[in-house]
Structure 1
């Protein structure tokens, strides 16, 4: 991802985030190195760095001298400069974590609950949030982000079936979350949050164009383009789980038959009531065809396989990609496998949800999505109401 600053007068907040993002990606680093990477003058970078140090987002230090003269002053993210809470509501439970500015999980909590109602979920979150905040009682809390299964705002699909949160129609989620915690609140689909978490804290340092395939209770995904998670016109891009793949196949709660997630998802695995090896053998052809479809549609550098599945299951699914059908991704000059396993682990969604709040500080490209009226409508809860 190419980070470039702007010399226009209104670009100062953007430059501030650009400098922070450069330090996060490449730190420890120097003012001069930052200036070269983002296309700003050393003087401009120095002014921004001074401000960020005063606000405790950055820390400067010198390494031990190895020869004559003083080594240059280095900069890194101040891990304790700010914290955010990430929350993930799924049909099988509620997860929450306190995340620092470097993306590390300070503390996490989990409560198993089947298809929690809004009242139950907010009661659980209301109890979890103070416990997490107490882990850093003097820490600066930047906000709270919540991730939910999508799609949002589609009457026939959003609240129907085992892979969605039934009973959440017409809930002003963001407002309820802000009122409950007293923190700035944000909302995102879990697959987009996971892709954001991977982009910021996982493989994002190595790829700028990839497809994140999210294996959860259902199946979804998100295209990451130039380091930015693409969300679509209404925030629901990536619902690959509802692509019909088996003509006349299993009925899907969405109203169609043979949808991909009826065969490839944790819910499908649970319903199969068979061993992991047998299930993988059964779904292998469907999974391989899905990867090929993604490649032909989006031409990604790679497909990143992540989500709620165990690391072992993700590894074995990636092994199924050793013998993929032909696609535009079958290039002689490939430098990476066509499918890789995400590095963000089980906390990718929580990191991504927290990053919704941290993005105003750390992620200039993601922060841009909050500038449009349509995007604000989607994220503030109005896009979820029926």
Structure 2
């Protein structure tokens, strides 16, 4: 993951996030090592670290001397220095978790709520967040992040069909989330937050350019480039589930025919009525062609398969990657399979949603940029909030 700071004064809030993330990734580490790694001066890093220590986000220690002089102080994340709530809203229900600064899931809960209405969903979320935060009395809860199915703000794709949040048009999501929980609120698509969770707590420490294929109720994905999740002009980059792959194929609620997620998704598996083995056999050619298409479009180091699907199903899908068609990724010098299963598991979405909070709260400039980017693109003419 490429963490690079900026020496411009206007970038100071951003540098706080970069320094904190460097400590989380590499701690225990020293101020000098951080400065070299992120391209900032030691003085700038020391100033930021002092603030983070005073606020309880970072702990400092020193090893026992082994010779002359004192060894440099080392820094590590204070995991108990703050918590964030991650929420995942799907057409099937609501998952939520309390996550500490180290990315550890402290408590989690789930409510089955198929096709839940906005009013009912936010009432459930209010209770779930209340119960989760009570599990750590006195703990500092920084905010709440919520992940939802995409795409955002595309009426013909966002609110129609079994893989979407039908009935959620024109809902002021961020305002409703903040009102229900009393906490700072942040939002993104589930595929982007899953990719972010994998970047922070999975293969992100090994790969800098990869495609995260999100296998959920529907199918989507996100390209991670140089350690950052690319979201596109309106936050909908990676909606490969609506790429037509079968000419004159099954009708899709989006209005097209033969869309990929009509064949490859949890919804497609359930609708097929077939056993898992028979379903895998029938969709194998479509799935393999989809992987080679992703490779030819993005030239990733690898395609990482994750999402809501059970780990056993993901492993069986990854087995199909042993017979992929030719693409730009079919290189002789490969040392990694072209398709692998995510390390972060099903909790990557929740961890990524919580990471939105940490970035937004500890780097106010980043949080404001994120909110403005999404609300201007998805809220409609009245600016009421993002659409699911």
Fold shared, TM-score > 0.5 on shorter chain: yes
CA drift of 1:104 comes to 1.0
Structure 1 pair 90–373 and aligned structure 2 pair: CA distance change class (3 A): closer
Q: Which runs of 5+ in 1 are unaligned?
A: none
CA distance in structure 1 between the aligned counterparts of 2:176 and 2:235, rounded to whole angstroms? 20
CA drift of 1:384 comes to 3.8
CA drift of 1:69 comes to 5.3
CA drift of 1:43 comes to 2.4
1:27-46 deviation per Cα after TM superposition (whole angstroms, max 9, x unaligned)? 11111111111122222222
Task: Indicate if the aligned counterparts of 1:85 and 1:354 stay in contact, CA closer than 8 A.
Answer: yes
Match of 1:367 in 2: 366
Task: Indicate if the aligned counterparts of 1:169 and 1:384 stay in contact, CA closer than 8 A.
Answer: no
Kindly indicate whether residue 339 of structure 2 is the aligned counterpart of residue 339 of structure 1.
yes
Kindly indicate whether residue 240 of structure 2 is the aligned counterpart of residue 246 of structure 1.
no
CA distance in structure 2 between the aligned counterparts of 1:198 and 1:189, rounded to whole angstroms? 14
Alignment of 1:211-222 (within 5 A): 211-222=211-222
CA distance in structure 2 between the aligned counterparts of 1:113 and 1:38, rounded to whole angstroms? 44
Task: Indicate if the aligned counterparts of 1:197 and 1:348 stay in contact, CA closer than 8 A.
Answer: yes
RMSD of aligned Cα (Å): 2.0
CA drift of 1:367 comes to 3.1
Task: Indicate if the aligned counterparts of 1:34 and 1:45 stay in contact, CA closer than 8 A.
Answer: yes
Q: How many residues align?
A: 385
Alignment of 1:190-269 (within 5 A): 190-269=190-269
Task: Indicate if the aligned counterparts of 1:211 and 1:221 stay in contact, CA closer than 8 A.
Answer: yes
Structure 1 pair 368–337 and aligned structure 2 pair: CA distance change class (3 A): farther
Match of 1:102 in 2: 102
Structure 1 pair 281–371 and aligned structure 2 pair: CA distance change class (3 A): closer
TM-score (norm 1): 0.94
CA distance in structure 1 between the aligned counterparts of 2:385 and 2:367, rounded to whole angstroms? 18
CA distance in structure 1 between the aligned counterparts of 2:45 and 2:291, rounded to whole angstroms? 42
Runs of 4+ in 1 over 6 A off after TM superposition: none
Match of 1:350 in 2: 350
1:201-228 deviation per Cα after TM superposition (whole angstroms, max 9, x unaligned)? 2111111111110000000001111111
Task: Indicate if the aligned counterparts of 2:93 and 2:116 stay in contact, CA closer than 8 A.
Answer: yes
TM-score (norm 2): 0.94
CA drift of 1:8 comes to 2.0
Give the match's secondary structure for 2:156: coil
Structure 1 pair 204–82 and aligned structure 2 pair: CA distance change class (3 A): same
